[in-house]
């Protein structure tokens, strides 16, 4: 069984996935995969360099994510070009890692689970929910960005209401880390039971 874990920027997805990992559950992180497909020397990075020029590449040869983010936010056609290049590569690697998982169930952590077709890879959707105001506060502190940039990123993601409407399960992350962890622990029990039932019925 695969559970898709998602939420808006600054919602606390990473903290939730860390807690699932403490239960020895495999977590496939779409953001990490997205970085892996554009490592220096990769065909994807070479294509990006040819298309956007040297401005998209750092002096150490890595992708200049901040510059590229600025470009695609201002130019929708460039965003579409980049997604056409990267999404198939990212999805193929995500599928490979999901298939390699040996834990009772698997978490796919992705900020764009519902904005892309990644939701088709999962059996259940878990949303970490938090108010927009808290999102901006947490993300601004974490990324050292101003509120306008965080709001611009939020506008590219589904609204809080749409995301929650598509969820099978919701973690309310307006409190402490302990409260978040308690919710994850309960869901771990549920997912373990569901995964065992699924295994039994398949035999």
Segments in the chain forming alpha helices (H) = 13-22, 30-36, 43-52, 65-74, 76-100, 132-143, 147-155, 160-165, 177-202
Is the pLDDT at 157 greater than 90? The verdict is no
Distance, CA of 180 to CA of 35 (rounded, Å): 27
Rg (CA), the chain: 18
How deeply is 29 buried, as exposed, middle or buried, from its count of CB atoms within 10 A (0-12, 13-18, 19+)? buried
> Under 8 Å CB-to-CB from 155, ≥6 apart: which residues?
none
* Domain definitions of the chain by residue range: 1-25+104-203, 32-102
List pLDDT tens digits, range 83-137: 999 999 999 999 999 999 999 999 999 998 998 899 999 999 999 998 877 767 7
Q: Which tokens in the block code for residue 44?
A: 């994807």
Determine what percent of the chain is predicted with pLDDT higher than 90: 68
| CATH assignment, 1-25+104-203 | 3.40.50.300
Q: Which of 45, 14, 49 is nearest to 32 (CA)?
A: 14
Average per-residue pLDDT for the chain: 90
pLDDT at 80: 92
pLDDT at 143: 64
pLDDT at 136: 73
Query: Among positive and negative, which fits the CA dihedral 162, 167, 173, 174?
Result: positive
Is the pLDDT at 145 greater than 90? The verdict is no
> Under 8 Å CB-to-CB from 8, ≥6 apart: which residues?
111, 130, 132, 135, 154, 157, 158, 160, 163
Average pLDDT over residues 24-38: 96
Average pLDDT over residues 166-187: 95
pLDDT at 180: 95
pLDDT greater at residue 146 or residue 87: 87
Average pLDDT over residues 6-14: 87
């Amino acid at each position: 069984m695969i559970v898709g874990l998602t939420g808006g920027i600054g919602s606390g997805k990473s903290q939730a996935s860390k807690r699932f990992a403490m239960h020895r559950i495999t977590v496939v992180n779409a953001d990490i995969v997205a970085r892996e497909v554009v490592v220096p020397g990769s065909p994807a990075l070479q294509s990006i360099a040819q298309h956007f020029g040297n401005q998209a590449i750092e002096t150490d040869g890595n992708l200049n994510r901040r510059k590229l983010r600025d470009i695609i936010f201002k130019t929708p056609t460039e965003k579409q070009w980049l997604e056409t290049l990267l999404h198939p590569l990212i999805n193929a690697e995500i599928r490979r890692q999901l298939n390699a998982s040996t834990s009772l169930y698997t978490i796919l952590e992705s900020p764009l689970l519902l904005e892309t077709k990644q939701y088709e890879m999962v059996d259940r959707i878990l949303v970490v929910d938090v108010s927009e105001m808290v999102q901006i506060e947490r993300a601004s502190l974490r990324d050292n960005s101003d509120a306008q940039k965080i709001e611009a990123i939020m506008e590219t993601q589904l609204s809080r209401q749409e995301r929650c409407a598509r969820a099978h399960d919701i973690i309310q992350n307006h409190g402490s880390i302990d409260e978040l962890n308690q919710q994850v622990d309960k869901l771990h029990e549920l997912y373990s039971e569901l995964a065992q039932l699924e295994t039994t019925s398949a035999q």
